[in-house]
Amino acid sequence: MNIIQCNDSKEVALISYRIFKEQLIKKPNSTLGLATGSTPILLYNELIKGSQLNEISFKKVNIFNLDEYVGLNSEHKNSYAFFMKEYLLNFIEIEDNHFHIPNGTACDLIEECHRYNNLLSSTKIDLQLLGLGENGHIGFNEPNTSFDSTTHLVELTENTRKNNSIYFKSINDIPTHAITMGISNIINATKILLLAIGENKAEAVYNLINGPIDVKFPGSILRNHPDVTIILDKEAATLINKVK
Ligand code: GLP
């Protein structure tokens, strides 16, 4: 595991951007796995700038997003489909049918999980971007999710709902369920880039790097992957540095 410590979130975004740029120059028709949440926003700004400066192009790229809330359609401002439009897709040139995300309003959610999983099985993600939940979740794979899991319907933990409540009017508005890529889908990517920003991630980062590889902490599985880069700001790296 390659661990890069940065001074601040801006530097995290710039270094991550370089990794994306390298990938897209090496393989213009890359398949990217992307994430939502506050962590990747500065990186998405850099990707937008890079494509406007013609340093990178998304014209041949396919994007697969990690997860989506159940019950929110793509026009709902709290859906992850909306998030992706607002923070990236509206500002880059990408084919409409090259952006993929689970449909959280499908009539048959189990069938939707199969549909998304089949799509994932028909491709190979070249570069998968991840954030990290305080409880170690990756995507919406909460603690005790099997490492063999594929795309599935998940009940969100209270901790996750509470942490994501800043984006909603009230905690009651936060969906109780989501569809997420499974851990085996994530691990199948050729290269994985995990970003963590802020002191509230310091304990999760410590556990990811030093704790046991255990389903209780989903992110720990990344230690078994051959090509993982973790980029941290100073605050997120606080505990790993104390131990050194
Ligand atoms: C959310 C998302 C994850 C994200 C994580 C961290 O619940 N499902 O994909 O990585 O939690 O979010 P943030 O970046 O806002 O801290």
Q: What is the mean pLDDT of each run of 10 residues along the chain (244 residues)?
A: 98 98 98 97 98 98 98 96 98 97 98 98 97 96 97 94 87 94 98 98 97 98 98 97 69
The encoded tokens of residue 223 equal 């230690």
What is the number of residues in the chain? Answer: 244
Q: How far apart are CA 21 and CA 227, in angstroms?
A: 17
Residue 6's nearest CA partner among 14, 32, 62, 54 is 14
Catalytic residue (one of 117, 137, 207, 233): 137
Residue whose Cα lies nearest atom 13 of ligand 1: it is 37
Full-model pTM: 0.97
Q: Report the distance separating Cα 150 and Cα 154, nearest Å.
A: 11
Ligand 1, atom 1, lies closest to the CA of 37
137 is catalytic: yes
Q: What is the pLDDT of residue 170?
A: 87
What percent of the chain is predicted at pLDDT more than 90?
92
At 199-241, the pLDDT tens digits run 999 999 999 999 999 999 999 999 999 999 999 999 999 999 8
67 is catalytic: yes
- Both tokens of residue 214? 């255990």
78 as an active site residue: the answer is no
Interior angle at CA 85, CA 83 and CA 89, nearest 5? 130
